[in-house]
Amino acid sequence: MSSTEVQMSPAEEARHREAESKVQSYKYVRPDIPGSSNKGLVRLCGTGMTKGIVQIIQEGGENTLHYHDGMDSFWMVLKGRVRFYGPGDKLIGEYGPMEGLITPAGARYWFEKASDDDLELLQVASYEQDASKSRRIAVDGDKPKSNRNQWFDGQNDNAPIDKTQV
C-alpha cells in the first residue's frame, strides 16, 4: 500500500492541529473507594462527544430503571459479572470479563453486580451533541440501596473529584 501526501489548505491544517492538540492518554488504576461509597467511577478521558469511565461496583449497581437521552453507551466487563435488566425487570443479559453490550439513547435499563467479586465495568459513552446536554432520566424512582458514588480523575492520579467536574 502506498501513501500519498495530500495538500491541505491552511484552514484544514489548522483544524487538524487543533484536534491533535486535544489527544488524551490515560491509564486505568483501580482507586481505593471510601467505605461510605458503594460505587467508584474513574473518569479516564473524554471530549464533548465521547467519554470513557470505569465503574467499580462493590455492592448493588445502577438500581433505578433509567435511560439517557442523546447518549449511547458501550459497556464491557473488565472484572466480575453483571446483569442488565430492562422494563419489568426483564433480563437483557448476564456478562463476564471481556463481554458486554451497547445501550442506545432512549433504551431503558438498570444493572447489578452478579458475583461476589467487585464489578469493574468499562463504559464508553457517545453523545449526539455536547455531553453537557445529555440527561439521565429515572423511570421508576430510586430502589433501596441507591448509589453512593465517589468520582476519581484517572488523568490526575485518581484524585477524588466532584460529579460536576466530569
With CA atoms as reference, report the closest residue to 58 among 126, 161, 160, 150. Answer: 150
When pLDDT is averaged across residues 136-144 and rounded to a whole number, the result is: 71
Domains and CATH numbers, the chain: 39-148 (2.60.120.10)
Which of the residue ranges 4-13, 16-25, 82-91, 99-108 would you say has the lowest mean pLDDT? 4-13
For residue 5, the one-letter residue type is E
The three cell numbers of residue 71 are: 447518549
For residue 98, the one-letter residue type is M
Helix (H) or strand (E) holding 119: strand 119-127
Helix (H) or strand (E) holding 65: strand 61-69
Decide if 103 contacts 89 (C-beta within 8 A).
no
What pLDDT does residue 106 have?
95
Which of the residue ranges 26-35, 81-90, 142-151 would you say has the lowest mean pLDDT? 142-151
- Encode pLDDT of 37-71 as tens digits: 888 999 999 998 999 999 999 887 777 899 999 99
CA 4 – CA 35 distance, rounded (Å) = 57
CA distances from 154 to 54, 73, 79, 80, 149 (A): 9, 19, 18, 21, 15
Q: How far is CA 89 from the centre of its chain?
A: 22
